[in-house]
Amino acid sequence: MDTGIRASEAHGITFRTFEHFSLEDDMERLYQVVKQLSGDTPDSQGALDFPFETFAAMVRRMDSRCIFIAMAGEAIVGITCLVPQGNEMYTLFTGVVKEYRGKGIAHALKLISIRFAQANGVKQLRTNNHSTNAPMLAVNHKLGYESQPGNWILKRS
């Protein structure tokens, strides 16, 4: 499991949880990165179409140990979040800043979140993503996630 993490660390990436950040000082920074990622990730386009105050309130309700962050120096370059759902946990969001993609960061973030879930007795993790997001589908498949019947979303052009 550590091989995927070490590969990203070889690119100068470090990993933290949001518990190592200041809720007051770093919330805006986290919001800006998630907003950027939300706009360029097929899975969540438009998902962060709400004000900072709403985002901050949501993050404050989350377990800061379940927000996993990839850093390049002091810059946040990737994030994944787990939220409890009954007896399992759900990956709410995973994203990596465009300039840092292809370095195994999403894979490493997911590995770290899986390790956390296992250490906390979680027996099942769930995630979802659009069929158009081939890179994240590949990451999820490599990590052993199994496809299940999903929802069709049809849009008229």
Distance CA 35, CA 44 (A): 10
CATH class of segment(s) 2-142: alpha beta
Q: What is residue 44's predicted lDDT score, i.e. its pLDDT? A: 56
Helix (H, G, I), strand (E, B) or coil at 94: strand
Cβ atoms of 69 and 11 closer than 8 Å: no
Q: What is residue 28's predicted lDDT score, i.e. its pLDDT? A: 93
Q: What is residue 76's predicted lDDT score, i.e. its pLDDT? A: 96
Q: Which amino acid is at 78?
A: G
Q: Domains of the chain: which residue ranges?
A: 2-142
**Tens-binned pLDDT, residue by residue, of the chain (157 aa):** 477 788 888 889 999 999 999 888 899 999 999 888 888 766 555 566 788 999 999 999 999 999 999 999 999 999 999 999 888 999 988 999 999 998 999 999 999 999 999 999 998 999 888 777 888 888 988 988 888 877 776 677 7
Q: What is residue 42's predicted lDDT score, i.e. its pLDDT? A: 65
- pTM, 2 dp: 0.86
Q: What is residue 43's predicted lDDT score, i.e. its pLDDT? A: 57
Reading the block at residue 8, the tokens are 């990203």
Across 10-149, the runs of DSSP E, i.e. the strands, are: 13-17, 67-72, 75-85, 88-96, 125-126
